[in-house]
Structure 1
Amino acid sequence: MFKYRQITDVLGRRILDGRGMPAIEVEVLSEDGEVGSVSVSLEVSEAHMEEMTEEIILLVNTTIADMLIGENLLAQNHLDQLLERMAGGMEAGRVRTGAARAVSCAVARTASGSLGIPLYQYLGGIQVQGCPAVRICLPQEKEPEPRCQILIQKWRVQYSQTSVICGMREQDTEKIIESSQFVTVTRCLNEIRSWKKDGKGQIGLRDTDHTTDAFLVDLAVAAGVDFVELRPPVRGENTVKYTRIMRIQEHL
């Protein structure tokens, strides 16, 4: 197993998410030519989306690129420490934490591709057991359309570890981490493992991104969470997560 692969470039760009809103895509390039990309949407009011998008892209293409180019792609913990120091914690604001999360995820995806192993295995190692249970979160204010109900039922038949809930809720005995909340991959994995070790109850990951990127699914499998909470299996930005679960199931 190689111990060192140099990061040769880091690039952020503006894209559109499944709602047609501004979103961020980050690419990380390895010395062997491997390019991994991750896209994330922004949890901010529409009035501030354009401004925040441009600020994140500028941060990625200047400060973060200068910091990571030449570093070891395979040193995820070290790179995430650099990103966390740059971000200054959750109190530093959404621009820095959003940029750190996107780059951290892109580093992991590039590294897994460079090593030729699945992303969930790169993040979780050989102890990965299987896919977590799926919670399909429905809006509280209205019933899903008939076609959506049919698709949900088909998924439940195919994947028995599925429950359906109305509205986002969190029980006293469980913890849910939203995809927009963690700063780096390493910090998220450590928080999940600490919660599980202490036996505090169930823990899950909730998809709040609106891009066609299924990184959250690989992260959930790698961390061994109890459940992953997804929107219904309609629209491309949602169905890509279900498709990724199906592929991982086949591999495992």
Structure 2
Amino acid sequence: MSKSFLFIIPLTPDEYLTSTRKRLRILCLTTLKEQTYNNWNALLIGNSEVEVHDDRFVILKKEGLKEEKLQFATKHITINMPECDYIIRLDDDDIFNPNILDKISSLEFDIFVDKYHYYFDYESGSISRQIKYWFPNTCIHKKKHALAKFGNLSKKHLPVLNEYVSLIENDHSKLHIYYKNRKVLYASPNNPIYLRMVSKDSITSKGEMAYESYLKFFGMWDNSLPTSFKEILSKANLYKRNAKRNIPILKRLKYRINELRTLFNYRKIMFGK
């Protein structure tokens, strides 16, 4: 029997749903529909109106903060959706790789994750890649691990709505602690699980600093988009394939050296090995 995958997607509340974020949500959900692997479902949590016209999407009308929606989702899954094999958390403005489930459906793992984090700047069509000493938000967890008792809510002041805090309800920067000594598989550097979309309307960018300063946190921006995403973003008129990025050679070299240094230290810092 083929493996089944379940996406948990907290919907952006209408008060934050700008035209940009609405466009990205449509792109996010459309990309899921175009998966080359069909044995999946997606749980959409929130009161925001969404049109999907696909029975694989299950809408859970529960509003609240994202952390509360995750708790609503895990409770619903435990009671009503016991059949899924893997669980994937995905924000509704990020883009999931349309081919990745097909590629991993025959593999055995506890978690499948990106070591190389990819970011896409909605405003310019530029791409950035970084190695971080934590797992990204969107990972593919074996169900028993995603729902395992572990850690704390990402916002510790919020009430725990269920019997206990599940792993997938934690801040994603803590996930690697749980997965030490478990079977961790990594996506190819050239075929990541997803793209994190960055825009002026994303909630995390709405701080006091200017947007250009915010982008510097994501490293070096160029137009090196992984092949799996080119067709998706080209159709959406977001990928500027001919855009030129005049990045000095020394800057590129420095960035690559830093990336190699980070890669060399990765296992020791992440897992103490």
Same fold (TM over 0.5): no
TM-score, length basis structure 2: 0.28
Whichever structure has more helix as a proportion of its residues is 1
